[in-house]
Amino acid sequence: MAKYIYEYENWTDFSWQDKAINVVFGEVRLMQGKIIGQMNALGFFAKEEATLTALTLDVVKSSEIEGELLNYDQVRSSIARRLGINTVGLVSSSRHIEGVVEMMLDATQRYSLPLTEKRLFGWHAALFPTGYSGPYLIEVGRYRTGEMQVVSGAMGKEKVHYKAVKPELVKTEMDKFLNWFNNESCLDPVLKAAIAHFWFIIIHPFDDGNGRIARAITDMLLACAEGSGERFYSMSSQILAERKIYYEVLQKMQHSSGDITEWIDWFLHCLKNAMLSTENTTQKILRKAEFWKLHEHTPINERQRLMLNKLFDDFEGKLQTSKWAKIVKTSTDTALRDIKDLVEKGILKQTDEGGRNANYELVDFKLE
């Protein structure tokens, strides 16, 4: 069995080949500047909307990587409330979602504060408010005291993918990590984010939730890199999309003797892809901002506003009266009146498809 990286002496003296990562590193830094520039040109409300979308995706997708599906609207509402963003259609959120959101916002909005043991324990407790992970009682708000293995497969045929640092060494290793995290100032924060993610995952200090906390630490350092708590892209969404390679690279690098070039290269490419996919989201947000600018004096009721925002965001399938009624919790008569009103105002139009149920879509528009 190959040695684990932490079994080497001075294992945290990581090395990498600059030549191998310079090009993608330069591209990432350039794109960060470009996205911030685009967003600053958007105006206050559109920028707020972009941040809300990115943070919501980050929370939802980070949990999805662990196989846990959170309700998008609950997460979005929780973030909007905490950031004081005035948005329609807020719903109440479960205690669990509030905890996950609390951790992510503490990481991204208070990115300049030191990362301490106490703060990490607070994040962990927020992730597991009941003391349980699924049906299992776990150690919450403190480092694990038991062995930690990452395994898969049926009972009796388990495959061990990773065996983490021994429990009695966790505190020593974490003290070293936190000291580096808070005092290392020569390293570019984007590279620091890549290293911190890897280092934390290798220690695996908690009973559960290590992946989510590693991703929150990553977001914290990316916010540092940009000098802003405004988030415009979601690294977790991209990690989810590339999950298979994410685990493959981690598994390979856990046996490295210190050179983690391959991990840093993957991390930077993943970050670049996250920013590329944001460009599409930005286009949608711009379009939405233009629409509301065009209709700032058009009388539109709350139900209509909610549905129009949905059409710009994440509406799936065809818009029909029954669907409208269900989403805004109203009668089909009221839904039909709302739709017809928007058709008369030239905002919606009926599509060409015939059939019993009429379908509607947004009318294309241009700002004068």
Phi, psi angle pair for 361, to nearest 5°: -145, 165
Residue 274: the pLDDT is 96
Average per-residue pLDDT for the chain:
93
Question: Model confidence over 102-149: pLDDT tens digits?
Answer: 999 999 999 999 999 999 999 999 999 999 999 999 999 999 999 999
Residue (of 130, 82, 85, 129) closest to 102 by Cα position: 82
Residue 281: the pLDDT is 75
- Domains of the chain (ranges, CATH numbers): 5-287 (1.10.3290.10), 301-362 (1.10.10.10)
Which residue type, as a one-letter code, is found at position 176? K
Residue of higher predicted confidence among 322 and 357 = 322
Strongest mean pLDDT among 7-16, 151-160, 318-327: 7-16
Q: Residue 42: pLDDT band by 50, 70, 90 thresholds?
A: confident
Residue 368: the pLDDT is 58
Residue 367: the pLDDT is 65
Burial 225-262 (b: 16+ CB within 10 A, else e): bbebbbbbbbbbbbbbebeeebeebbeebbebeeebbb
Average pLDDT over residues 79-99: 91
Q: Is the pLDDT of residue 354 over 70?
A: no
Residue of higher predicted confidence among 294 and 6 = 6
Average pLDDT over residues 278-284: 78
Question: Model confidence over 233-247: pLDDT tens digits?
Answer: 999 999 999 999 999
- On the 0-12 / 13-18 / 19+ scale of CB atoms within 10 A, 364 is exposed
Average pLDDT over residues 80-103: 92
Report the distance separating Cα 83 and Cα 80, nearest Å.
5
Cα separation values, 220 from 208, 225, 229, 287, Å: 20, 9, 8, 29
Q: Is the pLDDT of residue 356 over 80?
A: no
